[in-house]
Structure 1
Amino acid sequence: MTTILVTGGTGTLGRLVTARLRADGHEVRVLSRHSRPYAVDLRKGGPELDTALAGVDTVVHCASTPRGGDEQAAAHLIGAARTAGVRHLVHISIVGVDRVPFGYYEAKLAVEKLVEESGLGWTVLRATQFHDLLLQVFEGLAKVPVMFLPAGVSDQPVEVAEVAGRLAELAKGAPAGHVEDMAGPEVRTFESLAHAYLKASGKRRRVVHVPLWGAAYRAFREGGHLAPERAVGKGTFEEYLTRRSLPRN
């Protein structure tokens, strides 16, 4: 079995990828800012990163943040991976990073290009938004009596465990370049998803559609972040909410 390092291995996606790979018998190292013995801030790099990568065959790069620094982190990781002789770098990205001019998406696209030009064997999987992210968004929006939603926007959320399973499969295989996107089973309006959340949580909120502006909003309205032709996910948002057993109030 191979030695695999998972960056962001304590996060929503990374911990599930780690569990899948360990269940298959692989030695898995978890890298994050606070996870011993491989506590590394990828934005800074350093000798600790070299130590974490020593003897590693494959890296699954799940670490990411919308707060900035993804490009710098990827550059440090790639440089250290080349030095360590890593065979395969697997990177998770987002559907629509090449179509939606949104800051975080642009950073993810830049990281994809770094991976492609790394000189390493590489695989990139793009997925749509996780159910977990929508739940966080709706919980924030529901803190006030009126729930304001971006007008005319839909989404296609996917179950994070399914994406983790796909990443684990890719990590065990040979470098494959850009593989087919992975999207959830349904394209849903934001309103229908919001009402599913309100029903599951027992909250009563007035839903108001707010028209926004700008190129990013226009691209979201046009579905640049969707992949209806790749609706390979199985779990629905309602099934996810049922499993979460949200507190009702």
Structure 2
Amino acid sequence: MSTILVTGGTGTLGRHVVDRLRADGHDVRVLSRYSVPHAVDLRDGKGLDAALEGVGTVVHCASTPSGGDERAARNLIDGAQRTGVGHLVYISIVGVDRVPLRYYRAKLAVEQQIERSGLGWTTLRTTQFHDLVLRFLEACARLPVLPVPAGVSDQPVEVTEVADRLAALAASAPAGRVPDMGGPEVRTLPDLARAYLRATGTRRPVVSVPLMGKAYRGFRAGGHLTPERAVGRGTFEEFLERRFGHEAGLSGGPGAGLSGGPGVPAV
């Protein structure tokens, strides 16, 4: 059984991928800017070859909306080619080819770099993690009202389920672009906002605010959703209940308190 390296292995997704792979008996290396002994900043690549020595598969979870993903991917691909890595698994986002957001464009460019690399590769696109939706709503709730973009829905997915899928892909042969993975429900942002307010015991009017721009139009059109691939099970209410310790789903909206199921899909 060859060694598997996880980039961003201390992050929101990467740490769960590491845990799952180790639970399955794999030898796992964690690479991040501060993890010892493989502290590597992929944007400059210093120390990368040593971290990749003897590695058969890389799961590339490291990413940042602040920029640098394409340069980091180029360094990682070059290092993987030099050291004989046979399989590169990449986590991407549903809609990177449909929503003209700068970060999405970068993720799409990385997908294309990997496809052209000559390495064996697998790419999984998922919808946003529950954690990301929560951070967005927490930021919005700092105001006297809770504003959300008008006409936008989301399909949040449980990060541990994504980690399970990535671990399974890493233990398998390269598969190219695999089917997308989305959460169990497509929910409007006001509905998700009200679930958050119930779970935290916060009182705020929820206000839908129209925005401008091509990216906003892409989100309104549902370019980031994959209702035909609603294979996730954990709902937003269940995530909130674990986080805040309240029975968040008892007075919820569509699907509140349910476990979800096939039919509806972060970074």
Deviation at 1:80, TM superposition (A): 0.2
Cα distance in structure 2, aligned partners of 1:11 and 1:2: 23
Q: Per the alignment, in what secondary structure is the counterpart of residue 55 of structure 2? A: coil
CA deviation vs aligned residue, 1:177-220 (integer Å, no higher than 9, x gap): 00000000000000000000000000001111110111111110
Query: Do structure 1's residue 179 and structure 2's residue 178 form an aligned pair?
Result: yes
Query: Do structure 1's residue 86 and structure 2's residue 79 form an aligned pair?
Result: no
CA deviation vs aligned residue, 1:107-157 (integer Å, no higher than 9, x gap): 000000000011100000000000000111111111111111100000000
Query: In the alignment, which residue of structure 2 is the partner of 1:135?
Result: 134
Return the letter of the residue paired with 1:5.
L
Query: Do structure 1's residue 66 and structure 2's residue 65 form an aligned pair?
Result: yes
Q: Structure 2 regions of 5+ residues with no counterpart? A: 247-267
Q: Is the 8 A contact 1:184 1:231 kept in 2?
A: yes
Cα distance in structure 1, aligned partners of 2:244 and 2:234: 16
Cα distance in structure 2, aligned partners of 1:135 and 1:154: 14
Q: Per the alignment, in what secondary structure is the counterpart of residue 115 of structure 1? A: helix
Return the letter of the residue paired with 2:24.
D
Cα distance in structure 2, aligned partners of 1:202 and 1:2: 48
Q: Is the 8 A contact 1:201 1:246 kept in 2?
A: no
TM-score (structure 1 length as normaliser): 0.98
Q: Structure 1 regions of 5+ residues with no counterpart? A: none
Query: In the alignment, which residue of structure 1 is the partner of 2:100?
Result: 101
Deviation at 1:246, TM superposition (A): 5.9
Aligned residues: 246
Cα distance in structure 2, aligned partners of 1:130 and 1:24: 23
Matches within 5 A, 1:26-175: 26-46=26-46, 48-175=47-174
Query: Do structure 1's residue 193 and structure 2's residue 203 form an aligned pair?
Result: no
Taking only the aligned residue pairs, the percentage that are identical comes to 70
TM-score (structure 2 length as normaliser): 0.91
Q: Per the alignment, in what secondary structure is the counterpart of residue 57 of structure 1? A: strand
Query: In the alignment, which residue of structure 2 is the partner of 1:245?
Result: 244
Matches within 5 A, 1:193-212: 193-212=192-211
4+ residue segments displaced more than 3 Å: none
Deviation at 1:19, TM superposition (A): 0.4
